[in-house]
Chains A and B, each alone.
Chain A
Amino acid sequence: MVADSGTETADPRFLPGVGVFGRLGARIRRRERARAEAERRVYFTERWIGVLLIVPQLLLIFTFFYWPTAQALYWAFTLEQPWGGGNAWVGLANFTAMLSDPVYWGSIWQSIVFAASSTTVGMAIALLLALLVDREVRGWRIYRTVLVWPFAIAAPALGMAFRFILAPEAGFLAFVNRLWPGLWNPSMHGLDAMICIVVAFSWKYIGYNFIFFLAALQAIPKALLEAAALDGAGFAKRARLIQLPLLMPTVFFVAVINLTDSFTDSFGIVDIMTQGGPARATNLMVYKIYFDGFKGLDYSGAAAQSIILMLLVIVLTVVQFRFVERRIHYK
């Protein structure tokens, strides 16, 4: 499926520029073209139908997301009185105040640690479980159902159950402290608190990831795997050579969604479990936004932080699309 890339330089748009960057740019463009060639799609010619089909979604997001969001984000450049008494334009003051505060940089760092660990843990475990369930061993229908359930847990139940499991004095983990007194204490040790929220978040998202992985695995025809098995490829080899490559579009989807959600949708778990403590150790960016804006009525500060968070997530997502999606073959 490697495309022929010999003709590019003939296209005047891709003539190499001057200097290192020009050459680099040309090389990137060349590679992009090659890829586009490899992934070349066949399109329908009735463009108006395509446009028509996307309109409902666009109307919805414009009305219910972009319009209100634009107003909320405008507050980032003002000091807004919550009850609508007016606001004062302050330019970038909210941003400079935020970014010159070392505590805020700590919060950015914690968010990255949290997102990286919960995404990795959640995806790795879910992938393994999906591969195992897909083997259709005895009782696999039960596993297939129950392993999705964690995503369906209600927030109060999650809080109650994990507090019970992870509490240092009275929970399942109390035995750790009986062996090594003081070792495990999320109410005083920042690292332990971080572990708590990563465990709770990953636990819930394993259910989410699992269902999509399994759906994709089930779409792989059994004949393909059986043929490989007849050729003597074992479980691990089949997973590596057949299932994983075919799973890549889903893996990419799950990775992007997990990373985004762990940055932007984790405030509920933090609020239930650690409230950002101890001593700011789990003060994730989105929790701080929630705390300042929703609980503390500092709309302008929350808006400025939201813009910073959105930029960060957008950059990370763009990076994933640019550099990770490159490696995925959809066909």
Chain B
Amino acid sequence: MRKTVIAATGLLALASLAAGPAAADKVKIDFWYGNSGDISKRVQEVCQHFNDSQADYEIACTSQGSYYAAVQNTIAAYRGGKPPTIVQVFDVGTLDLMLSDAYYPAYKLMEDNGYKVDWNNYFPGIRAYYASSKGQMFSFPFNSSTALLYWNKDAFQKIGKSEAPKTWEEAAADMKALKDAGYDCPLGFDISQDESWQLMEQFSAVHGEPISTKNNGFGGLDAELTFNKTKFVKFVTDLKGWYDQGLAKIKSKNTGEDYVTAFASGHCQMTLTSVGDHGNIGRTADPSMHWDVAMLPVYDGTTRHNSFVGGASLWVLKGHTAEEYKAAAAFLNFIAKPDQALFWSTVTGYIPVTKTGFDFMKANGFYDKAPYKGRETAIAQLSVDPAGSGPGGIRLGNFLQIRGELSNGLQEIFSNKATVQQGLDEAVQRGNTILRRFEETYKGKELL
């Protein structure tokens, strides 16, 4: 891995090796992350940029292959007394770490090492996810994304439309028209294990509907799930109706084609997926296909709220020396710079997390032309409500298991084993048991 990067950066790396002091003088720190594939290659490039940019510190970045393994191995290493300095933790793993004693809060790290960070520079939807109730950030947002509606312009032209549907009512009419125009799969979606987030979480976010009591869990560990009593029930009912009429189709890995591929190949005309897929669809779709992204539809008469951010953030762990923390602070400061934001968003589909990063990219004309044009919609959707009056995220324990329960409920609903209400009620009831278990585990601990 490292060899490639050196080869890629060529002379630059060599020059810095020659110019810098002996490697032994450098403070070395470890950074463990979960990304794989092409994204992992990009993370390695970011690390290399940092190592080349200065001579005092050296960061060794190691992919653990998946978000799960990154968290699990870090816990093992932390409890074994040998934690990495920085670790990437994905959104649903955040709360366990937040309630632990294992981390050095981001705001404090930067303060202690003399960096002045304007935390308000982070987009509200992103800040809320990783900050205490007082607004102090515990970790650094790293790779962030949010869901968008992807739509096929060619197909919509056939039904006489040049705009994406803004409401679900409009979307339903469009699906009908697309079907009548001979399209087999107007909307592709998925309900398997990890895929219910665009449906439930993002839907609830943009509609301003609660997922649980206590402000989606921000108000305390005793929150109870409520998504079986909100507009989400209507959405699932409608989706099931569209599914039964053949207007919407389940496209998953197990059917042979997931919803992203199905959209890219032109088999499905609309889908809901992360802005992170923007680049992939651009690379894998037929170049002659015209498509675009739009904000997620809302039901008629709904005031639109900010969508939630997904992805992962970087945490600094306890158990290291002051020198190592200095190195960590330098690295985190480095990746927050606007030019790094531009690099990161160019080579991946992730969005910039700060306003200055976004402005810098805009000023550079990043969003003006293909293939990046359209991605600004994600930022717009995350800042519909600049004050950020909603909960801004989800802070529920064992949330991965809760996602699993929801997905099982949806699978029962879509295979006609349960009615919509039954399926969601059961998911909520089982999810609440899981939440109580989490609350019991952290008895006596308070959310900061």
Contact = CB atoms under 8 A, between A and B. Distances in A.
Partners in one complex: yes
B401 A292 contact: yes
B78 A274 contact: no
A275 B401 contact: no
B100 A279 contact: no
A297 B252 contact: no
Given A88-B440, A277-B407, A277-B411, A167 B256 contact: yes
A244 interface: no
B68 interface: yes
Nearest to B418: A279
Contact of B415 (A81, A83, A174, A189): A189
Interface stretch (B91-99, B125-133, B211-219): B91-99
A168 B411 CA distance: 17
B400 A79 contact: no
A123 interface: no
A83 B192 contact: no
B75 A79 contact: no
Contacts of A276: 193, 404
Nearest to B413: A279
B72 interface: yes
Contacts of B407: 277
A171 B255 CA distance: 9
Contact of B192 (A170, A196, A277, A301): A277
B100 A81 contact: yes
B398 interface: yes
Given A81-B100, A169-B256, A187-B255, A291 B441 contact: no
Contacts of A167: 254-257
A164 B256 CA distance: 7
A188 B100 contact: no
A185 interface: yes
Contact of B250 (A81, A188, A294): A188
Interface in A279-328: 279-280, 291-292, 294-298, 300-301
Interface string A59-90: 00000000000000000000111111101101
Contacts of B412: 279
B35 interface: no
Interface in B383-402: 398, 400-401
B330 interface: no
A295 B254 contact: no
A170 B256 contact: yes
Contacts of A87: 441
Interface string A75-108: 0000111111101101000000100000100000
Nearest to A103: B430
B68 A187 contact: no
A301 B417 CA distance: 28
A163 interface: yes
Nearest to B103: A83
Contacts of B102: 83-85
A278 B100 contact: no
A64 to B, nearest CB: 14
Interface string B71-83: 1100100110000
A277 B407 CA distance: 9
A247 interface: no
B255 A185 contact: yes
B87 to A, nearest CB: 11
Nearest to B399: A296
Nearest to B401: A296
Interface string A165-185: 001111100100000000001
Contact of A298 (B71, B401, B445): B401
A187 B398 contact: no
Nearest to B68: A295
A224 B101 CA distance: 70
A88 B445 contact: no
B193 A83 contact: no
Nearest to A171: B256
B242 to A, nearest CB: 16
Contacts of B79: 83-84
Contacts of B101: 83, 85
A304 to B, nearest CB: 12
B119 interface: no
A82 B75 contact: yes
A164 to B, nearest CB: 8
A187 to B, nearest CB: 4
Nearest to A193: B254
Interface in B404-420: 404, 407-408, 411-412, 414-415, 417
B362 interface: no
B369 interface: no
B290 interface: no
A273 interface: yes
Contacts of A122: none
A207 interface: no
B253 interface: yes
Contacts of B408: 277, 279-280
B253 to A, nearest CB: 6
The interface centre, meaning the residue of A80, A90, A301 with most chain B CB atoms within 10 A of its CB, is A301
B81 to A, nearest CB: 10
A233 B430 CA distance: 62
A127 B192 CA distance: 37
B415 A278 contact: yes
Interface string B237-262: 00000000000001011111100000
B398 A300 contact: no
A187 B254 contact: yes
Contact of B443 (A88, A275, A296, A301): A88
B161 interface: no
A310 B165 CA distance: 54
Contacts of A85: 99-102, 442, 445
B437 interface: yes
Given A82-B96, A163-B253, A279 B411 contact: yes
A159 B243 CA distance: 28
Contacts of A296: 398, 400-401, 404
B97 A83 contact: yes
13 contacts: A79-B440, A84-B102, A85-B101, A85-B442, A163-B254, A274-B254, A275-B194, A277-B407, A291-B404, A296-B400, A297-B75, A300-B441, A301-B437
Interface of B: 68, 71-72, 75, 78-79, 93, 96-97, 99-102, 192-194, 250, 252-257, 398, 400-401, 404, 407-408, 411-412, 414-415, 417, 430, 437, 440-443, 445
Closest 3 CB pairs of A and B: A167-B256, A83-B100, A170-B256
Given A83-B75, A85-B101, A297-B72, 13 more contacts: A81-B99, A82-B75, A82-B100, A84-B75, A97-B437, A169-B255, A187-B252, A188-B414, A276-B404, A279-B411, A291-B400, A297-B71, A297-B96
